[in-house]
Structure 1
Amino acid sequence: MKVAVIGTGYVGVTTAVSLAMNGHEVLGIDLVKAKVDQLRMGKSPIYEPGLEAALAAMLAQGTLNFTTDIADAQDAEILFVCVGTPESADGTADLSYLQGAVADIAKLQQASPRSRVIVIKSTVPVGTGDRIAEQLRDFKGVHVASNPEFLREGSALQDALQPSRIVVGTDHPDAAAALEQLYEGVAAPRVATTRANAELIKYASNAFLATRISFMNELARLCAALGTDIVTVAQGMGLDSRIGPEFLRAGVGYGGSCFPKDTIALLQLARHHGIPLTILEQVREVNATQPAWFLGQLQKRLGELRGKTIAVLGLAFKPDTDDIREAPALKVLDALQRAEAHVTAYDPIAMPAVRALFPRVHYTATAAEAFQGAHAALLITEWKECVRLDWQEVKAAMAAPVLFDGRNAWPAKELKEAGFDYTGVGRS
């Protein structure tokens, strides 16, 4: 099928590449010429394992191209809208980019009228798809569908090619049939529903995953007080088939482009309708305070942080991505600098972006170098380069062998036996 994808950010470029890999003829559209030029050269604007190689392969194969002009999509049967919906000042979703894309679609339809399906992949408040359908109602043969994405940064391409589920919300059988044809051969459960249900499925999914994380982080605080072990507790919980093991890892909190903005957007939507979501309010509160709680444990151990050298390992919000949006590491760096500590930091991908925000931090070329002269080291993001280390070399490099494991990813038993002063999140 002939497909166009409006927006070439994280969701858009992954969607475009995966659809091309599935045999469709795909055109990516973006207003930023520099980004389009970069994509045409096979360079991805984001770091995502395997994405750039697949991008280059699809360009060479001729099934994928990019443009700044939506008029080039005149033959597209399906138009995906993958623009950003960032958090606005009041916490609601900013739909200005979405409305700009809809206006461009209307111009395209006026210039090149034909039947086509407009698919909203952007995360949008419930009712947005219905309003867009109303805006485009005068264009014969144009149908609007909601098809939310469930991509995990760090494994986005795999998730696009092998999705956990395909949710399609539409009120017209032609749109449903077109998307079924598009996803023919993709083995995944289907959910056929209304646009509003599909939109809420996306928000509810992210809110629930965020809830699991904050629940475990709050429970880890109790474990720290009781002397019990959150890792063992999580293992015992996860064996219950009604709970499962996913998203039960305690740490320094969630970040990224989805959970923070989607939880506040859902809260704002609920407030607008007079429905309190008190559990979700507490989820955000726990997440907001978790980095401070973690640093509180550090201060209990070291006392005054002024003048002490603290190593911070991992800066992106999770491994295998360069995304630092709402990354817990940013709160940690800010707090350490305000405490007048000397900070060294390492991340294999995200250091350039963080350096622009924290130029006084000393960034190292390797994870091992970050430990040099440190009075304590903090693991914030569990990159393999930050976890698989020569611990004797690390111990020799540090001023004091004090480790604070913000992801419970370092080998606690091995480190304690090697003479390190080890503290995890809720570890006994």
Structure 2
Amino acid sequence: MKITVAGAGYVGLVTSVCLAELGHEVICIDIQSEKIEQLQEGYSPIYEPELEPLLQKNLIEGRLYFTTNPRYAYTHADVIFIAVGTPQHVDGTANLDYVYDVIETIAVHIENDVIICTKSTVPVGTNEKIKRMIDSKKLPQLRVEIVSNPEFLREGSAVVDFFYGDRIVIGAENEESARVLENIYQPLKIPIIKTDVKSAEMIKYASNAFLATKISFVNEIARMCEKVGANIDDVTYGIGKDQRIGPYFLKAGLGYGGSCFPKDTRALMHTSGSLGHHFELLEAVIKVNNRQKSFPVVKAKEIMPSLKGKKVAVLGLSFKPNTDDIREAASITVIKELLQEGASVTAYDPIAIKNVKELFGDSIDYTDEIQTAIYHADLTIITTEWEQIKQFPLNLYSEYMKEPKVIDGRNCYPLEEVQKYPLLYVSIGRPTVVKTLTNKL
């Protein structure tokens, strides 16, 4: 099938490459010429495990193309996927300018019947407006159907999620359009949920809001565990065994970040408000998450008289492991607050340093080695649970740091292991470990 994907961002690129891998002829279009040139050469502008090898494979095999030319991209497509960004406005509403710009362009370039499939996360009712826009501008003899097909790709495991996801949601107003989308995905053998367009739009927001709620809930339980002396790891293991709850998204930490959960929860809040419904639960979820990102600096000020002039190592900059995405990352909040306190910051991350440099420039130091980051540090704060950090030998904190004080915002280390070493170790929802500290200076 001839498929065009509008947008070479995170969702659009992963979708393009994976659809080509399924055997479809895919054209991915984007307005950024530098990005398209990079992709034509086989290099991915984003970090995502397994993506670049598949990109190169399908370019070589002639199933995947990249362009900035709308006539080439849209004229003969059977299905067009919309995968452009929907960033938030200041008030939390979804900015749909990119979606509508693409629709305007598609309308004047299509020359045959086509299905337009929205992957971008859009508020309920958006696809109805897309349908009206297309119908008002396309050639009258053309038949254009609109389908909602929300994505559920997790950064860091998006390729695996595409091929082995939990479900595929197809929202369509007629069976014929739904069947075309079903045939595209049929080789994946993933359960397909067919519904109306508005329900499909809502499924995406409801899914993300519910997962965000689980994260904020467990972080509130973790705060209670700290106060009563319980261990959040044992608590979440115990409740996660209940099949009605499940073990996923019950990891205590510094809250959620990235491009989806923060944006989508705020957008759903705004939609709720515009309908005259006060979504109190979701309001609390957002409030808890925003507060959670400040946990490391709050704890640091409790265990140290002052942070002014202190060297602090921040380990992990991306919002989660296996991605270079720093949008809404806890590390950004932590670094800003440390600088406000007068601390000197050295930041470590395997791949996200470039993006953080664009924010902080020369105001902090950077390294791709953990040992360098913690060398002669007064304090180490862990903000992302990279495997490199989880596997870092605990004894090296006391060997390299001026004073081995570690605030672990992701509970990377088992407490029974931490207790073997001379550390002051503070984690989330677990008892603080205080062993004999050695001041090397």
TM-score range (shorter-chain normalised) is over 0.9
Q: What is the CA deviation profile of residues 385-406 of structure 1, one whole-angstrom value per residue up to 9, with x for unaligned ones? A: 1221132233111111111110
5+ residue gaps in structure 1? Answer: none
Question: Superposed, which structure 2 residues align to 1:137-156 within 5 Å?
Answer: 137=135, 139=140, 140-156=142-158
Q: What is the CA deviation profile of residues 330-375 of structure 1, one whole-angstrom value per residue up to 9, with x for unaligned ones? A: 0000000000011111000111111221221111230121110111
Counterpart in the other structure of 1:415? 418
Of residues 132-141 and 200-209 in structure 1, the stretch that sits farther from structure 2 once superposed is 132-141
Q: Is the 8 A contact 2:104 2:133 kept in 1?
A: no
Q: Which amino acid aligns with 2:24?
A: H
Classify the secondary structure of the residue corresponding to 2:188.
coil
The 1-side partners of 2:378 and 2:210 are apart by: 38
The answer as to 2:51 corresponding to 1:51 is yes
The 1-side partners of 2:209 and 2:424 are apart by: 36
The 1-side partners of 2:123 and 2:9 are apart by: 19
Counterpart in the other structure of 1:163? 165
Q: Which amino acid aligns with 2:420?
A: E
Of residues 52-61 and 292-301 in structure 1, the stretch that sits farther from structure 2 once superposed is 292-301
The 1-side partners of 2:350 and 2:295 are apart by: 26
Counterpart in the other structure of 1:380? 383
Q: What is the CA deviation profile of residues 26-49 of structure 1, one whole-angstrom value per residue up to 9, with x for unaligned ones? A: 000011111110110011111001
Counterpart in the other structure of 1:335? 337
The answer as to 2:425 corresponding to 1:427 is no
Relative to the length of structure 1, the TM-score reads 0.97
Classify the secondary structure of the residue corresponding to 1:404.
strand
Counterpart in the other structure of 2:38? 38
The 1-side partners of 2:387 and 2:179 are apart by: 43
Q: Which amino acid aligns with 2:69?
A: D
5+ residue gaps in structure 2? Answer: 432-441
Counterpart in the other structure of 2:11? 11
The answer as to 2:215 corresponding to 1:223 is no
Of residues 344-353 and 407-416 in structure 1, the stretch that sits farther from structure 2 once superposed is 407-416
The answer as to 2:378 corresponding to 1:396 is no
Classify the secondary structure of the residue corresponding to 1:185.
helix
Classify the secondary structure of the residue corresponding to 2:81.
strand
Query: Deviation of residue 411 (structure 1)?
Result: 3.0
Aligned residue-pair number: 425
Classify the secondary structure of the residue corresponding to 2:381.
strand
Q: What is the CA deviation profile of residues 191-223 of structure 1, one whole-angstrom value per residue up to 9, with x for unaligned ones? A: 111111000000000000000000111111111
Counterpart in the other structure of 2:364? 361
The 2-side partners of 1:402 and 1:56 are apart by: 45
Relative to the length of structure 2, the TM-score reads 0.95
Counterpart in the other structure of 1:261? 263
Q: Which amino acid aligns with 1:239?
A: K
The answer as to 2:133 corresponding to 1:132 is no
Counterpart in the other structure of 1:247? 249
Query: Deviation of residue 137 (structure 1)?
Result: 2.9
Counterpart in the other structure of 1:90? 91
User: RMSD of the alignment, in Å?
Assistant: 1.1
Q: Which amino acid aligns with 2:4?
A: A
Query: Deviation of residue 56 (structure 1)?
Result: 0.6
Counterpart of 1:314 (choices 303, 313, 316) is 316
The 2-side partners of 1:309 and 1:240 are apart by: 44
Q: Which amino acid aligns with 1:49?
A: P
Of residues 298-307 and 255-264 in structure 1, the stretch that sits farther from structure 2 once superposed is 298-307
Q: Is the 8 A contact 1:16 1:26 kept in 2?
A: yes
Of residues 153-162 and 10-19 in structure 1, the stretch that sits farther from structure 2 once superposed is 153-162
Q: Is the 8 A contact 1:252 1:380 kept in 2?
A: yes
Q: Is the 8 A contact 1:294 1:425 kept in 2?
A: no
The 2-side partners of 1:76 and 1:46 are apart by: 26
Q: What is the CA deviation profile of residues 242-276 of structure 1, one whole-angstrom value per residue up to 9, with x for unaligned ones? A: 00000000101111000000000000000000011
Counterpart in the other structure of 2:117? 119
Q: Is the 8 A contact 2:150 2:201 kept in 1?
A: yes
Q: Is the 8 A contact 1:223 1:427 kept in 2?
A: yes
Q: Which amino acid aligns with 1:2?
A: K
Counterpart of 1:212 (choices 211, 214, 218) is 214
Q: Is the 8 A contact 1:368 1:389 kept in 2?
A: no
Question: Superposed, which structure 2 residues align to 1:267-282 within 5 Å?
Answer: 267-282=269-284
Classify the secondary structure of the residue corresponding to 2:5.
strand
Counterpart in the other structure of 1:104? 105
